[in-house]
Structure 1
Amino acid sequence: MRLLAKEEARAAQGVAAKAAVGTYQEPIDVLEGLIARTQSEYLSQSDQNLMMMPDSPAIWTASDGEELFKEPRGPNNVSLEECDFGKGPGVLEGAYVEMPRYFEDTGKVMDLETRLIHCMVTLQGFSPDDPEVKKRHGSGSDHMKLQTYIASQSSGFAWNPPMDHPLEKALRDAGQVMFYRRAGKADFACSTCHAASGKRIRASVLPNKNVPEEWTKAISWPAFRVGHDHVRSSQHRLRGCYWQMRQPMPIAGSDASIAMLSYWTDAARGQPAILSDMKR
């Protein structure tokens, strides 16, 4: 009986901890709060983006995504409101900031993109080769519309990826190794650019992973990239980073990509997410 009581107490504490991750805030309010707190050169480097954020094109992408999310679609004529993103079917508030996470129904640690694919295939009946599933980049794709909407429901919530399952910890730890591993013809690692303050690529100030207030903006994807004129995802940014390091780009949904995203997210733990952000 005493052991059962302890287990019940731990379970109650876990539920309370996962519920207390924040409330919704507008992305511009989150960013301005971080700037006021830190005076970070990285956070405040673009007055133009700050001015445009309240009218970001990502708002329209998310609006289209909401319609797709609630619309019965696919051969099974089912909406994504039946998909469990970690907090129960259709519950989105605070779900994105707790991903990647382990899902018992698949036996895998999944990020938003892989979980979305799983639900589109298993619930809605789409084939993996259908354009609704296969096309994952660009603001006009179903994927970016859906990912932007789902993620936006967690703006202002603190990053809080669970580390309860051994696979969650294993992938986070593997991602840490990847972050610091130098490789490729340029002998670069993620840490080459993101482990100290004051580094730049041309005119752009780079975020320091060791400053959590900077890192939360760095990993707040989906985000509208002004230079691309598109909303981009975390997986797209990850591929872009590896391309810039002149290393082979990771395959979206692979263990390697999930490992890196797990480490990214854990490094921003406790900081509010900016969703959707606007970037250069």
Structure 2
Amino acid sequence: MNTLMTRKSATLALAGSLAVALALSAAAPPAGAQTEEETQRGLERYRQMLREDPWSNPALLDADRGELLWTTAAGPRNATLEDCDLGLGPGIVDGAFARLPRYFEDAGRVMDVETRILWCMRELQGVDVAAYVAKPHPSGGQPVKDVGAIATWIANRSEGEAFAPALDDAAGRRTVAMGEALFNRRSGPFDFSCATCHSATGQRIRLQELPHLSQPEEARVVVGEWPAYRVSSTHVMTMQHRMYDCYWQMRMPQLEMGSEASVALIAYLVDKAAGGDVAAPGIKR
């Protein structure tokens, strides 16, 4: 509880950082007077300010909430999630996120962290996860939901470790191959694919840089930052939510949380990011 209160106080530093960023913007030359390179340097200075003081990251509050949810009895069976096996054995959390997605024999499929949490909620606590899957992601300004908070805590417990997803078995390779096919498949009313935005270096939408996610060198830098706090929507966004939102922006059919397609896309991205560091929760625009 002391840690939680300390983090609540520490998030006031974020407001200070934002105020400094706004002051810098106010002092900046009028729009059009700065070069693109100067604008990008200014944005990177702002991001660096937040990274240098990790206590200013509001996502840490959700990580604390996720830990509490993990250890609190809930559901029809009045059980905790402390016996949930994330791949390293029941109850072992440290380092588990860095080795996900992976194939789970008890479930008979490859799972990412959020899909595995849902499975454990159903199997250990007796929770009706269908009700959760129907509306799993927060609206703008609303806090991340329970599974996302737990995922944020689990990811944070692998911070600094290198991604080493267990995807070298037959099921893992099939899942990665499916993810690659989905990543590159053009469809929907805009005839877009994930690759439309994320298979070239130097592309951007407005001021937002678009990482070349099919290139390991760039994937290793950004994939490990999810779950991340989104300043623009003032909440944590998980990787499942990120995939859902990208599909929505492409006007594709709704991507169901925990579906084979969502897990395959995440497996493909994490496979590309293998060897990069877990730096979650990150901070995004």
Band of TM-score, shorter chain: 0.7 to 0.9
Unaligned stretches of 5+ residues in structure 1: 1-40
Deviations 1:246-269 (A, max 9, x none): 322321111111111110100001
Q: Does residue 148 of structure 1 match 2:152? A: yes
Equivalences for residues 183-262 of structure 1 within 5 A: 183-219=187-223, 220-262=225-267
TM-score, length basis structure 1: 0.79
Structure 1 SS opposite 2:103? strand
Equivalences for residues 59-98 of structure 1 within 5 A: 59-98=60-99
Higher RCO structure (Cα 8 Å, ≥6 apart): 1
Which residue of structure 2 lines up, in the alignment, with residue 46 of structure 1? Answer: 44
Deviations 1:5-38 (A, max 9, x none): xxxxxxxxxxxxxxxxxxxxxxxxxxxxxxxxxx
Deviations 1:97-142 (A, max 9, x none): 22111101111111111110111111112222566x7653232521
Cα 1:201–1:93 change in 2 (3 A) is same
* Preserved contact between residue 101 and residue 167 of structure 2 (Cα < 8 Å): no
Distance (whole Å) between structure 2 residues aligned to residue 129 and residue 247 of structure 1: 22
Q: Which amino acid aligns with 2:106?
A: D
Q: Does residue 177 of structure 1 match 2:181? A: yes
* Preserved contact between residue 42 and residue 206 of structure 1 (Cα < 8 Å): no
Q: Does residue 167 of structure 1 match 2:171? A: yes
* Preserved contact between residue 214 and residue 269 of structure 2 (Cα < 8 Å): no
Q: Which amino acid aligns with 1:98?
A: R
> Alpha-carbon deviation of 1:217?
4.1
TM-score, length basis structure 2: 0.77
* Preserved contact between residue 42 and residue 205 of structure 1 (Cα < 8 Å): no
* Preserved contact between residue 136 and residue 257 of structure 2 (Cα < 8 Å): no
Deviations 1:23-65 (A, max 9, x none): xxxxxxxxxxxxxxxxxx9899432233224111001110111
> Alpha-carbon deviation of 1:174?
1.0
Q: In angstroms, what is the RMSD of aligned CA positions?
A: 2.2
> Alpha-carbon deviation of 1:210?
4.6
Runs of 4+ in 1 over 4 A off after TM superposition: 41-45
* Preserved contact between residue 114 and residue 148 of structure 2 (Cα < 8 Å): no
Q: Which amino acid aligns with 2:105?
A: E
Structure 2 SS opposite 1:80? coil
Q: Which amino acid aligns with 1:148?
A: T
Deviates most, 249-258 or 168-177: 249-258
Cα 1:174–1:43 change in 2 (3 A) is farther
Deviates most, 164-173 or 225-234: 164-173
Identity %: 42
**Number of equivalences:** 239
Deviations 1:176-198 (A, max 9, x none): 11111222232222112111211
Distance (whole Å) between structure 2 residues aligned to residue 206 and residue 130 of structure 1: 34
Unaligned stretches of 5+ residues in structure 2: 1-38
Which residue of structure 1 lines up, in the alignment, with residue 117 of structure 2? Answer: 116
